[in-house]
């Protein structure tokens, strides 16, 4: 988060010449100074005293002072970026933030951008005579000590279903899977590569092709 945070902070101190309002300020400030000076010169030419000419020049300068406009723009930027941050949006460039009102489509580049980051068990695909409840009980029992998102969802679903879990034994954890025994029955859970041999034996070519189009975690018993 260090780089995005620095980018967001940097966007709060963008060059003052950026944006429509900033471009106006570039010309407005010199114009006000020129008008004030012109007012003083004109007053002197009309025969007014130096004090009166300076007073009128300062009056024009104070009335036309762009200070409020110059302060309001940075404050509005900071307020907008702060509000976006509270909504979970990190602003990298303020110019893009300003153009958000013209957007009619948004493309997200990865999973988790607009999701909750919580896995949900949608379906259990069985290849043998084991019931869904038995398969879920075995998987949740083996994953009792795991903090993986899938393991947490398996335990939550087993709890919701009212299944009784048992303590696994001889649990071995690898880079892409877990193996252990539940009620003296070997259970293996992991990626498709981890259970490549079991998947090859259990599914036909058509079945494996269908599985490739879905996100699933294989389990073998």
Given 15, 109, 134, 193, which residue is catalytic?
109
Q: Do residues 136 and 161 lie in contact, with contact meaning Cβ atoms separated by under 8 Å?
A: yes
Catalytic annotation present for 109: yes
Residue 93, C-beta contacts closer than 8 angstroms, at least 6 positions apart: 7, 11
- CA 164 to centroid of chain Cα atoms: 38
Query: Residue 181, class by beta-carbon neighbours within 10 Å (0-12 exposed, 13-18 middle, 19+ buried)?
Result: middle
Q: Which residues contact 202 (CB under 8 A, 6 or more apart)?
A: 127, 128
Rounded Cα gap, residues 199 and 186, in angstroms? 16
Burial 30-62 (b: 16+ CB within 10 A, else e): eebeeebeebbeebbeeeeeeeebbebbeebbe
Local structure of 189: helix, strand or coil: strand
Do the beta carbons of residue 190 and residue 216 sit within 8 Å?
no
Q: Which residues, 6 or more positions from 216, have their beta carbon under 8 angstroms from its beta carbon?
A: 125
Catalytic residue set: 109
């Amino acid at each position: 988060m260090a780089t995005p945070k620095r980018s967001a902070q940097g966007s709060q101190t963008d060059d003052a010449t950026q944006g429509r309002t900033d471009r106006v300020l570039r010309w407005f400030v010199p114009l006000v100074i020129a008008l004030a000076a012109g007012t003083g010169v004109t007053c002197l030419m009309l025969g007014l005293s130096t004090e009166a000419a300076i007073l009128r020049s300062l009056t024009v300068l104070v009335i036309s002072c762009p200070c409020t406009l110059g302060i309001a723009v940075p404050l509005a930027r900071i307020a907008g970026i702060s509000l976006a941050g509270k909504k979970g949006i990190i602003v990298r460039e303020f110019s893009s933030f300003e153009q958000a009102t013209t957007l009619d489509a948004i493309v997200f580049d990865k999973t988790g951008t607009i999701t909750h980051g919580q896995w949900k068990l949608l379906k259990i695909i069985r290849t043998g005579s084991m019931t869904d409840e038995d398969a879920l009980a075995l998987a949740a029992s083996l994953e009792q000590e795991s903090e993986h998102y899938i393991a947490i969802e398996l335990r939550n679903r087993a709890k919701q279903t009212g299944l009784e879990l048992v303590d696994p034994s001889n649990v071995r954890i690898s880079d892409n899977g877990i193996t252990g025994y539940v009620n003296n029955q070997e259970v293996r859970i992991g990626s498709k590569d981890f259970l490549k041999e079991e998947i090859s034996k259990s599914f036909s070519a058509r079945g494996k092709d269908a599985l490739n189009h879905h996100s699933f975690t294989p389990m073998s018993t």
